[in-house]
Structure 1
Amino acid sequence: MTTLVQMLLGLLAAAGFGALLALAWLYFHQERSLFEGEPLPAGHRFSMQGPDVEEVSVPVPGATLSALHLKLPQPKGLVFYLHGNAGNLERWFANVDFYREAGWDLFMVDYRGYGKSTSRIRSEAELRGDVRACWDFIAPRYASLPRVIAGRSLGTGLATGLAAVVQPALTILISPYRSMRAVVAGHFPYVPQRLLRYPLLSEADLPRIDGPVLLLHGTLDELIPHSHSEALLPKARRGRLELIDGAAHNDLQEHEPYLAALRSALDGV
């Protein structure tokens, strides 16, 4: 009996030690799960570059960020777009014709480790600092025109935080989340919240945005359920929610009601 108890205690101790190792790995390596950037060689030329799309390099502390800039002859204003957690600009800077037809310039940056951007993401503060540096780099050129901040998925938390500080003419949140903690809790309820080093508290930043906020969300989104947008809406001072029937997380841009809502919001600025 004593031997059996000792074995059980040993197994429990081993299991506990294994769990601690797993939690420690999660704490120190969670960037691998949150940020799925695909690097590109320094000499890569983006397929959408042309007469009105140029690549721009934005210097930030310890890194250089790669961005693409759609520049129209007489734009209505600027859309500053923060993309999702996977891929790079080759994937995300894809719907350029929509912005050409709408008459808006578009500026989109790759985060550290994405595309041709150098270094790697190491903290939420650094990530937010990079986003602010990119805004400060491009926004002054449009000081006399409306400036819109848009974010999609991961980028919505960054967009909300930036908009709360710089107060754009319009904020567009596409598939947003209450917080990254809430997203993780929905999928992995056993993970302790205090381990997450990227809380990205959109629900705390949203009430500080003075201007209009448009939330767009697919009804079939399983990664970030539309309940997140429904919970965020009451926190916005001037919020509007458009649920896109039949759209999931990755195909939202393929649905005409999404594009129509986006175009209407831009036309209303």
Structure 2
Amino acid sequence: MKKLLPLILLTFLYGCSSFFYFPTKYFYADPKQHNVAYDDIDFKSTDGTDLHGWFMYDKSYEKDKKKKKKGLILFFHGNAQNITSHWLNLGWMVKDGYDIFIFDYRGYGLSKGQANQQGLNKDSIAALNWAHAKSKEYPKFIVYAQSLGGTVSMRAMKDIDFKSDIDLYVLDSTFSSYQDIAFDKLKNAGVFVALSPLAYILVSDEYGPYKNLDQFKMPILMIHGNKDVVVPYKFGEEIYKKLKTEKKWWWTVEDGSHTDVFHPKHLQYRAKFLDFLEKI
């Protein structure tokens, strides 16, 4: 078995998709059971692949005309499960006047196809186009991206021409190089540490966004837990240092793990974030 481990690892890395993508079709949590309304949104990726998402909102804003919507949030989720679990990260915001568009990459949830770097790039561009068109109905357009969602959204930013229309871009617990994160994982994987340099040979960084970080001019808020073992804190710091935008902020989530800034144990960040959005 020990002799087979290197071969298994090489196959694992060479396939690449199994290393970064863990999609499921399971329905985890229904927003309607949490008093969050949603509409199913079916749209197409730029290569024609059928994609699925949810447009989430609070019905009370339709009944009370005095209540005004504050903004639209496009949510790029992380690498596992699908929108039926990830919506919980931001779903609480609809009662505060923010509508949310969350979508599944190809291979996730009800979206067709199979996940890969090139495909997710096309999906991300399509989602940005859909949300941008919808955002014209709102006073603010916010893009919120977690973990792998941060990586794919940063790369997609290179391929859109409306970056200046984004009022705030939030990068939560993310990384900018597929090779670097793969190397870090192997370096800390005990028996596989000697094979860690292979990450720079077998893992593609063709769609790694580290090459275009200095092109972002929109306001950017970066969030990272200082106890994150999935995407270590240093990866967020590296991105922040490379950003050239005049408006950028860094939030350290004390004792925070991976993408848990708005979880119940960190409720103070919910109020902080809403207040931050009011001032943008």
Give the TM-score band, short-chain normalised: 0.7 to 0.9
Q: Give the aligned partner of residue 102 of structure 2.
A: 108
Residue type of the partner of 1:245? E
The one-letter code of the counterpart of 2:270 is L
Alignment of 1:184 onto 2:195? no
Between the aligned partners of 2:36 and 2:240, the Cα distance in structure 1 is 39
| Structure 2 Cα separation of the partners of residues 54 and 46 of structure 1 | 15
> Alpha carbons of 1:18 and 1:209: their partners in 2 closer, same or farther (altered >3 Å)?
same
1:79-108: CA deviation from partner (whole Å, max 9, x where unpaired): 111000001111011145531233111000
The 5 A counterparts of 1:6-85 are: 22-23=9-10, 26-27=13-14, 29-40=15-26, 47-49=30-32, 52-60=37-45, 61-72=47-58, 73=61, 74-85=68-79
TM-score (norm 2): 0.79
Call closer, same or farther: CA 1:82–1:96 in 2, change over 3 Å: closer
In structure 2, which of residues 85, 88, 92 is the aligned counterpart of residue 91 of structure 1? 85
Q: Distance in 1 between matches of 2:29 and 2:11?
A: 38
Asked if 1:211 is matched to 2:218, the reply is yes
Which is worse superposed, 90-99 or 225-234? Answer: 90-99
- TM-score normalised over the length of structure 1: 0.82
Name which of 146, 156, 160 aligns with 1:162: 156
Structure 2: tracts of 5 or more residues without a match = 62-67, 187-195
Q: Flag the structure with larger Rg.
A: 1
Say if 1:51 and 1:216 are closer, same or farther in 2 by CA, change over 3 A.
Answer: closer
> What residue identity is the alignment partner of 1:142?
S
CA distance in 1, matches of 2:240, 2:268: 19
CA distance in 2, matches of 1:118, 1:93: 19
Stretches of structure 1 that go unaligned for 5 or more consecutive residues are 1-14
Which amino acid in structure 2 is aligned with residue 176 of structure 1? T
Structure 1's 176 and 258: CA in aligned 2 closer, same or farther, altered over 3 A?
Answer: farther
Aligned-pair CA distance for 1:258: 3.2
Give me the CA root mean square deviation.
2.6
Letter in 2 for 1:133: A
Pairing 1:248–2:257 present: yes
Quote how far apart the aligned CAs of 1:139 are. Answer: 1.8
Distance 1:95 1:192, change over 3 A: closer
CA distance change for structure 1 residues 47 and 24 in 2, over 3 Å: closer, same or farther?
A: closer
**In structure 2, C-alpha distance between the alignment counterparts of 1:156 and 1:45, rounded to whole Å:** 22
Change (3 A) 1:209 1:111: same
For the structure 1 residues 96 and 239, does the alpha-carbon distance in structure 2 shift closer, same or farther, using more than 3 Å as the test? closer
